[in-house]
Amino acid sequence: SIRQDAKKVYAKERRSLKNHLNQQFEVTRPNEVWVSDVTYFLCKDIKFYICAIIDLYARRIVGYRIGKRNSTQLVKSTFKQAYESRKPAGQLLFHADRGSNYRSYAMCSYLREFGVIQSFSKAGVPYDNSVMESFFSSLKREELYRTKYRSEQELRAAIAEYIKFYNETRPHAKNGYKTPFKKEQEYYVNSKQNEKK
């Protein structure tokens, strides 16, 4: 009886945490698949959590937030920022790990309001979200670990500047060594030209 109920709850949770992305990182258009994760960085002995969202098409950072708690509110506000900025027109898949902030009722119901399909990495498989892992590795190696920040304001300014650099200046091998901004720009130019034909 108790065991039967436990099995039902487990099975239901397994179904709801489906990995729709399944390491298929090649997509055909912007705003088709977004991936997200949270990392942290210590500054002045204070832990700062950085949540970011990447659009897989051009590997562009489309939203990020910094907070002092790894909370549902942090990931929800990051998604809201990205969604309001990008205004996705087609079906959107949102992939993340199985952190409680991404699995929370508030986050899942919020995404359902927009018709967003949620996808989760398999437990203990970091490769399922390797694009996010790669970005955080670059952020830390190229910026955060190279500087001693004197204040929270300095840290926030440095992260903002790095993300602008990452999107607009830093060439990406996946994009044929074009920047994420340039890759996306080319997509929209080509789309308009195809519409005229």
pLDDT digits (tens, 9 = 90+) for 122-160: 877 778 899 999 999 999 999 999 999 999 999 999 999
Q: Report the amino acid identity of residue 188.
A: Y
Rg of the chain (C-alpha set): 18
Supply the pLDDT for residue 197: 64
HSE, CB side, 13 Å, CA atoms: give it for residue 57: 17
113: which 2 tokens?
Answer: 């309001």
3, 10, 51 from 113: Cα distances, Å? 34, 25, 21
pLDDT digits (tens, 9 = 90+) for 50-101: 999 999 999 999 999 999 999 999 999 999 999 999 999 999 999 999 999 9
Supply the pLDDT for residue 189: 94
Give the relative orientation of helices 130-142 and 152-168 as an angle to the nearest 10 degrees.
Answer: 120
Please spell the DSSP secondary structure of 72-130, one letter per residue.
HHHHHHHHHHHHHHH---S--EEEE---HHHHSHHHHHHHHHTTPEEEEPPTT-GGGGH
Better-predicted residue by pLDDT, 185 or 4: 185
Cα 75 from Cα 79, distance rounded (Å)? 6
Strands 60-67, 117-120: parallel, antiparallel or unpaired by DSSP? unpaired
Under 8 Å between Cβ of 21 and 94: no
Supply the pLDDT for residue 65: 98
pTM of the predicted structure, to 2 decimals: 0.90
Supply the pLDDT for residue 6: 40
Better-predicted residue by pLDDT, 137 or 24: 137
Supply the pLDDT for residue 172: 95
- pLDDT surpassing 80 at residue 180: yes
- pLDDT surpassing 90 at residue 3: no
Supply the pLDDT for residue 22: 87
Mean model confidence pLDDT for the chain: 91
Q: What's the rounded mean pLDDT across residues 156-183?
A: 97
